[in-house]
A and B are shown apart, each in its own frame.
Chain A
Amino acid sequence: GENVEQHPSTLSVQEGDSAVIKCTYSDSASNYFPWYKQELGKRPQLIIDIRSNVGEKKDQRIAVTLNKTAKHFSLHITETQPEDSAVYFCAASMNFGNEKLTFGTGTRLTIIP
């Protein structure tokens, strides 16, 4: 089955700086890659996703890049703010035939004011 690895497990950045979180996956058939943000005591919430026919997607301060050849994808947060502090999870699944999402182990991002 699919295996998703995520790095780093913790990340601290100064407010205003950029943060990058990286994930690799094992199953070349995977073609859907969402990112979830989970604040303390809350549920995971989708913040951005990318599909295999797209190499990059951007939504305001958040961007995701995908390299299918290398089987890795990354989350980029620019101009970080204190409210970006949370745990971020990457995930992967096949779009057709199997909707099961396999999650990475999470990155605890702390924004230092």
Chain B
Amino acid sequence: DAGVIQSPRHEVTEMGQEVTLRCKPISGHNSLFWYRQTMMRGLELLIYFNNNVPIDDSGMPEDRFSAKMPNASFSTLKIQPSEPRDSAVYFCASSSGRLSGNTIYFGEGSWLTVV
């Protein structure tokens, strides 16, 4: 299995630009999570989907952030407009839910720098 696949791995963008991060979960997994990691705040859950439906988006920081999951094999996290404080590593993760005992597998992360 290829694991959770994220793109881009690294992105540097200017403040005000739109950023789109992409994720392909592990085939057969029905839960998908977007986490943000910073030195100051650690690992924060932004949003998670179950069977392509957003279940909990309470961690999404503000309206500049949006996430979609149009099908079981693809999700996007969009930041528009981006700000320097959005600089972080964004991890996508997936799990097969209760049957796997909630084991969550992380992608390699997207390293975002907003200048």
Count of interface residues, chain B, beta-carbon cutoff 8 Å: 22
Query: Beyond A42-B108, A43-B106, A49-B103: 8 further Cβ-contacts under 8 Å?
Result: A32-B102, A43-B108, A44-B43, A44-B106, A96-B98, A99-B102, A100-B48, A106-B43
Is B101 touching A49 in the complex (CB atoms < 8 A)? yes
- Give Cα A102–Cα B104 distance, bound, in whole angstroms: 12
Answer whether residue A112 sits at the interface, using C-beta atoms and an 8 A cutoff.
no
If the complex has contacts A43-B106, A49-B103, A95-B102, are A102 and B91 also in contact, measured as CB distance less than 8 A? no
What 0/1 pattern do residues 94 to 115 of B give for CB contact below 8 A with A?
A: 0101100111111111000000
Q: Could you tell me which A residues sit within 8 Å of B by CB distance? A: 32, 34, 42-46, 49, 51, 89, 93, 95-96, 98-106
Q: Could you tell me which B residues sit within 8 Å of A by CB distance? A: 31, 33, 42-43, 45, 48, 50, 55-56, 91, 95, 97-98, 101-109
> How far does the Cβ of B24 sit from chain A's closest Cβ, in whole Å?
15
Is A95 touching B42 in the complex (CB atoms < 8 A)? no
Is A103 touching B102 in the complex (CB atoms < 8 A)? no
Q: What are 6 contact pairs spanning A and B, CB under 8 A?
A: A42-B108, A43-B107, A95-B98, A99-B104, A101-B102, A103-B42
Chain B residue nearest to A32 (CB atoms) is: B102
